[in-house]
């Protein structure tokens, strides 16, 4: 199949993160098998989802070293979005291919799979690897499972390209993403007897405001990196729920917050500011009202920041193949930081614009897929030496 045919097939699988991706993954596995490529599935702990890892060996049969082409198979929901066409049926209009995941990031996966026959025919001195993950969109959950398995086997790689949509430009850094869920446990009471309760919502609000104060400090004082579109660390509270009635002091409130840290900033150091406020000020105040008051903060999924080395061979290669020397850093997270963290030099470069990701009528331009094909072909050719 060519790239467009592959993309049509991949989009037809509803791999919204809440669903299983096994149908897509097994289809890819079977398609690779018909070409003599053995793909391994590395399942989630519960077994309902899987990563796929496949190696196209070097001409001497070697599977060590070489370059990894990495992409995630899950997509964000379409719920409530005003799509002009079926989001899971690829459709072309005026040089654009519309469908959920066409840009983020099944376009890159489609181009990679379409070129497998060419890759196999190349007299490569080094292997090429395909790494497809699950649940990137909900905190980069799947890739660590795959990377842990590969590490156990002692697998070594020279570099990795994560094909997130960058308009085929080189991205050398992105922020880390860190997700937390906070549960505040107070004491219920009738609202006419306010002193007999401990209001979980009000104390949650105090903590939320403190998180905002920390965020404001980073915005006003830095540190800064002007190469980022948002050049400072950010913190936001994005979900909250609590309370059962307007005349009842709430005993429980739950909220979720995140921060996106610049590379080099300590994740533990940022979170320590939240913990210090909880332990030093908020909990003592709550417990003067209710001795058993409790605030639990649970660390969720996330991904480390990426800061690629300009001297790394993969950075220089991708810059040379794209003829792009720009220094780009982005606020959104990717799985590239995970690969980098385990010692695999990694850059981000893929077709489509991040501006189209997650939106209704998501699309990728045909010209971007063509450019991606040319780039990937050159990556394969670079392994012939």
Strands 67-72 and 128-133: parallel
Q: Residue 369: which pLDDT band, with cuts at 50, 70 and 90? A: very high
- Beta strands 252-261 and 67-72: pairing type? unpaired
The whole-number average pLDDT for the span 371-382 is: 98
Helices of type H across the chain: 3-12, 22-33, 107-114, 116-121, 142-152, 200-221, 267-277, 283-287, 313-322, 336-341, 366-382
Would you say the C-alpha torsion 57, 62, 64, 66 has a positive or negative sign?
Answer: negative
pLDDT digits (tens, 9 = 90+) for 332-359: 889 999 999 999 999 999 999 999 999 9
Cross-strand partners of 347? 161
Q: In what order do the strands lie in the sheet with 96-98?
A: 91-93, 96-98, 363-365
Question: What are the respective helix, strand and coil percentages of the chain, to the nearest 5?
Answer: 35, 25, 40
- pLDDT score at 301: 82
d(CA 191, CA 186): 14
Cα radius of gyration rounded to whole Å, the chain: 23
Span(s) in the chain for CATH 3.30.70.360: 176-303
Contact 350, 165 (CB under 8 A): yes
Cα torsion for 162, 164, 166, 172, to the nearest 10°? -40
On the question of pLDDT at 60 being above 90, the answer is yes
Q: How many CB atoms lie within 10 A of CB 327?
A: 11
| Residue reference for tokens 């049926």 | 89
Rounded average pLDDT over 318-328? 95
- Whether the predicted pLDDT of 322 surpasses 90: yes
Active site residue 136: yes
Q: CA 351 from chain center: how many Å?
A: 16
CB 347 within 8 A of CB 314: yes
Q: Which CATH architecture group holds 176-303? A: 2-Layer Sandwich (3.30)
Do the beta carbons of residue 332 and residue 303 sit within 8 Å? no
Nearest to 100, CA basis, from 90, 109, 110: 90
- Tens digit of each residue's pLDDT (9 = 90 or more) over 136-170: 999 899 999 999 999 988 999 999 999 999 999 99
Domain 3-174+305-382 indexed as CATH 3.40.630.10: yes
C-alpha angle 185-190-196 in degrees, rounded to nearest 5: 65
Could you tell me the two tokens for 37? 């490529």
* DSSP per-residue letters across 224-293: --TTBSS-S-EEEEEEEEE-S-TTEE-SEEEEEEEEEEPTTS-HHHHHHHHHHHIIIIIHHHHHTT-TT-
User: Residues 14, 135, 136, 362: which is the catalytic one?
Assistant: 136
DSSP letter at 75 equals B
CATH 3.40.630.10 segments of the chain? 3-174+305-382
305-334 mean pLDDT: 95
- 3-class state of residue 65 by DSSP: coil
Specify which residues 91 forms β-bridges with.
98
Tell me the pLDDT tens digit for each residue of 25-47: 999 999 999 999 999 999 999 99
Check if 74 is active-site: yes
């Amino acid at each position: 199949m060519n790239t467009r045919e592959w993309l049509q097939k991949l989009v037809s699988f509803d791999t919204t993160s809440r669903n299983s991706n096994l149908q897509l993954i097994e289809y890819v596995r079977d398609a690779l098998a018909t070409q003599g490529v053995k793909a391994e599935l590395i399942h989630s702990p519960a077994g309902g989802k899987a990563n796929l890892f496949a190696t196209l060996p070097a001409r001497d049969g070697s599977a060590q070293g070489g370059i990894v082409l990495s992409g995630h198979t899950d997509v964000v929901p379409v719920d409530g979005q005003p799509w002009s066409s079926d989001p899971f049926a690829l459709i072309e209009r005026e040089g654009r291919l519309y469908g959920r995941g066409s840009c983020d990031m099944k376009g890159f996966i489609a181009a990679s799979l379409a070129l497998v026959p060419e890759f196999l025919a190349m007299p490569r001195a080094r292997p090429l690897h395909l790494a497809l993950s699950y649940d990137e969109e909900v905190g980069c959950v799947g890739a660590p499972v795959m990377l842990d398995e590969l590490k156990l086997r002692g697998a070594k790689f020279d570099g990795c390209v994560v094909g997130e949509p960058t308009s085929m430009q080189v991205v050398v850094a992105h922020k880390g993403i860190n997700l937390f869920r906070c549960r505040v446990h107070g004491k219920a009471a009738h609202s006419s007897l306010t002193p007999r309760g401990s209001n979980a919502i009000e104390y949650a609000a105090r903590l939320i405001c403190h998180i905002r104060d920390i965020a404001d400090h980073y915005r006003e004082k830095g540190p800064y990196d002007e190469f980022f579109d948002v050049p400072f660390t950010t913190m936001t509270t994005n979900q909250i729920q609590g309370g059962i009635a307007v005349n009842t002091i709430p005993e429980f409130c739950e909220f979720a917050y995140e921060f996106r840290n610049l590379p080099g900033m300590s994740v533990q150091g940022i979170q320590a500011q939240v913990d210090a406020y909880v332990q030093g000020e908020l909990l003592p105040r709550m417990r003067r009202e209710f001795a058993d008051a409790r605030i639990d903060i649970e660390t969720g999924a996330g991904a480390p920041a990426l800061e690629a080395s300009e001297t790394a061979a993969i950075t220089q290669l991708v810059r040379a193949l794209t003829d792009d020397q720009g220094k780009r850093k982005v606020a959104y997270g990717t799985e590239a930081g995970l690969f980098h963290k385990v010692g695999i030099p990694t850059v981000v470069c893929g077709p489509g614009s991040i501006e189209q990701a997650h939106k209704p009528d998501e699309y990728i331009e045909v010209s971007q897929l063509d450019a991606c094909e040319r780039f990937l072909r050159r990556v394969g050719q670079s392994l012939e030496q």
